């Protein structure tokens, strides 16, 4: 996808700056010009790019940076902050609460992926223990109700709509009222797609908002819309109070920069991205992690989330224990790779590595690489597999393992590098997790630890462990070991 190109261009610009011996005004300007060019090519609005340049130059005053300070780091941080600012309008987002009915209304252009995204949003929350329900107020497109009905049925999510009634305002009002009575906590209203010139449809959208009184209006935008994104998003913002954005089709060939413009136009944050047609091809959008990837800085948070998703239920308590001990061994990495291999194509999961490391479309190569690493680990001794000290892997061990596995020393080094990155990221993820090795925990620290662990676990894993109660009793057992 072209977003990967944007990332490549930006990280190349940063790399060029890093390769210079002296960072002066010219080097800074070259770097900023290169980044600006990349952003413009990715459809980010000119005024936003210009503002970003101006702000960075204001912040990074090379003459004022005292000797001894790392100018490159200061520039990188300024670029990072500005890109984050572009994507994060800083406005607090409405957050629905479990157990209390919230109405979420979806609006967007025709074909932007609204109906699909409504179900994805409902399904995502259902997996996290919410009670979502769907209302189809799209009477404009024939087949919209059928589509929503089909998706909702597949995901076992209650829905409301009508083949007979042609007034979307009436359907929306009735649907919301019914699901409120039935205590659903996320009532999701799908509306007809429209174009900014369609005044009648905009009026209809306003009326649907009036009757359903949404707590949050989500603007759904196709990432391929490009420069037009700003105007379209603004037109919606002027008619209903858009509070969040979801960008769809990030898996395609979209330039993606339009998403930055939509954020600017609606002054609302991107909360999710759609990465495919299937129900679970939907990711929480994290600004810092997105920008980190754009800058070519490796991001691991998404990868860890995916790992949590693929560990089989029977191994989960053990994994929690291992994680809570904050030990990450080669053996544990072997188990994780084994689980990932069972999943089949790992491309989606690997996107969290960033396009540079595991490019899309090269899933086969990535899988082959994992297999190679596992063959290498097959030649390691038990002591090596159970060690948490990468320094143990000295030259002679590396040569022995390479020979034993029929792989090159370079392959073994790569595998060790992957291990180190895993271990580092895990220790970050698990920071603050205080499980005493010996003796018990008091009730308060048990519950706090369980809360911390539950955040790191995917919902279905938590469910299989018996929810928070099950997790707490597991933590109790661990504490008393
Ligand atoms: N590749 C990909 N396709 C998507 C994504 N989200 C939606 N689609 C596809 O986009 C097409 C349009 O999606 P819909 O959900 O029908 O769009 P809509 O906005 O409800 O359309 P209207 O009702 O006409 O406004 C469908 O073929 C979806 O499968 C995504 O994240 N990635």
The ligand 1 atom nearest the CA atom of 120: 6
Q: Does the Cβ of 111 fall within 6 Å of ligand 1?
A: yes
Q: Does the Cβ of 249 fall within 6 Å of ligand 1?
A: yes
The list of the chain residues with pLDDT below 50 reads: 1-2, 298-308, 310-311, 313, 316, 344-360, 432-449, 456-458, 460-461, 464-465, 474-481
Per-residue model confidence (pLDDT) at position 67: 61
Ordered structural domains, the chain, with CATH: 2-87 (1.20.120.140), 102-294 (3.40.50.300), 300-429 (1.10.260.30), 443-480 (no CATH)
The ligand 1 atom nearest the CA atom of 110: 25
CA of 439 to the centre of ligand 1 (A): 54
CA of 267 to the centre of ligand 1 (A): 24
Q: Does the Cβ of 369 fall within 6 Å of ligand 1?
A: no
Question: pLDDT, tens digit, for every residue of 215-273?
Answer: 999 999 988 777 777 888 888 888 899 999 998 988 766 556 677 777 777 888 889 88
Per-residue model confidence (pLDDT) at position 297: 58
Q: Does the Cβ of 144 fall within 6 Å of ligand 1?
A: yes
On whether the CB atoms of residues 281 and 258 are closer than 8 A, the answer is no
Q: Does the Cβ of 407 fall within 6 Å of ligand 1?
A: no
Question: pLDDT, tens digit, for every residue of 12-50?
Answer: 887 788 777 777 888 889 889 988 888 887 777 888 889
On whether the CB atoms of residues 472 and 437 are closer than 8 A, the answer is no
The ligand 1 atom nearest the CA atom of 190: 20
Ligand 1 pocket mutation, candidates 141, 251, 277, criterion most atoms within 8 A of CB: 277
Q: Does the Cβ of 112 fall within 6 Å of ligand 1?
A: yes
CA of 278 to the centre of ligand 1 (A): 10
CA of 98 to the centre of ligand 1 (A): 28
ipTM: 0.96
If you take atom 29 of ligand 1, which residue's CA is the nearest one?
277
Per-residue model confidence (pLDDT) at position 302: 47
Q: Does the Cβ of 251 fall within 6 Å of ligand 1?
A: yes
If you take atom 4 of ligand 1, which residue's CA is the nearest one?
277
Ligand 1 pocket mutation, candidates 113, 196, 280, criterion most atoms within 8 A of CB: 113
Q: Does the Cβ of 275 fall within 6 Å of ligand 1?
A: yes
């Amino acid at each position: 996808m072209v977003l990967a190109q944007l990332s490549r261009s930006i990280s190349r610009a940063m790399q060029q700056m890093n390769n210079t011996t002296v960072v002066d005004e010219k080097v800074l300007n070259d770097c900023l010009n290169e980044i600006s060019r990349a952003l413009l090519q990715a459809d980010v609005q000119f005024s936003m790019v210009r503002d970003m340049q101006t702000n960075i130059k204001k912040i990074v005053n090379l003459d004022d940076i005292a000797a001894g300070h790392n100018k490159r780091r200061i520039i990188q941080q300024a670029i990072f902050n500005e890109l984050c600012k572009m994507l994060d309008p800083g406005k607090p987002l409405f957050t629905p609460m479990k157990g209390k009915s919230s109405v979420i209304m979806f609006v967007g252009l025709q074909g932007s992926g609204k109906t699909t995204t409504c179900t994805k949003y409902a399904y995502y929350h259902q997996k996290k223990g919410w009670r979502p329900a769907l209302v189809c107020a799209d009477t404009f497109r024939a087949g919209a109700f059928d589509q929503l009905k089909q998706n909702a049925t597949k995901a076992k999510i209650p829905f409301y709509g009508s083949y007979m009634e042609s007034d979307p305002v009436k359907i929306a009002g009735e649907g919301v009222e019914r699901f409120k009575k039935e205590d659903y906590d996320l009532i999701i209203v799908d509306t007809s797609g429209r174009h900014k010139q369609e005044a009648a449809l905009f009026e209809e959208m306003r009326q649907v908002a009036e009757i359903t009184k949404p707590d949050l209006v989500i603007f759904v935008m196709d990432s391929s819309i490009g420069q037009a994104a700003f105007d379209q998003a603004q037109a919606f913002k002027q008619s209903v109070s858009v509070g969040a954005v979801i960008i769809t089709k990030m898996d395609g060939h979209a330039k993606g920069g339009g998403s930055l413009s939509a954020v600017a136009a609606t002054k609302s944050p991107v909360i999710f991205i759609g990465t495919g047609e299937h129900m679970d091809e939907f990711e929480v959008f994290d600004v810092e992690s997105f920008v980190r990837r754009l800058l070519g800085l490796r991001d691991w948070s998404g990868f860890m989330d995916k790992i949590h998703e693929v560990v089989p239920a029977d191994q989960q308590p053990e994994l929690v224990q291992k994680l809570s001990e904050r030990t990450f061994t080669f053996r544990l990495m072997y188990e994780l790779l084994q689980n990932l291999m069972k999943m089949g194509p790992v491309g989606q999961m690997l996107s969290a590595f960033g396009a540079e490391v595991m490019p899309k479309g090269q899933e086969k190569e990535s899988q082959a690489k994992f297999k190679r690493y596992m063959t290498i680990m097959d030649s390691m001794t038990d002591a090596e597999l159970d060690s948490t000290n990468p320094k143990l892997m000295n030259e002679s061990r590396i040569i022995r393992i390479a020979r034993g596995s029929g792989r090159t020393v370079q392959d073994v080094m790569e595998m060790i590098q992957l291990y180190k990155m895993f271990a580092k990221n895990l220790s970050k993820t698990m920071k603050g997790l205080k499980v005493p090795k010996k003796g018990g925990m008091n009730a308060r620290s048990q519950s706090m630890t369980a809360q911390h662990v539950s955040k790191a676990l995917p919902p279905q894993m938590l469910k299989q462990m018996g929810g928070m109660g099950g997790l707490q009793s597991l933590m109790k057992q661990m504490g008393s070991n």
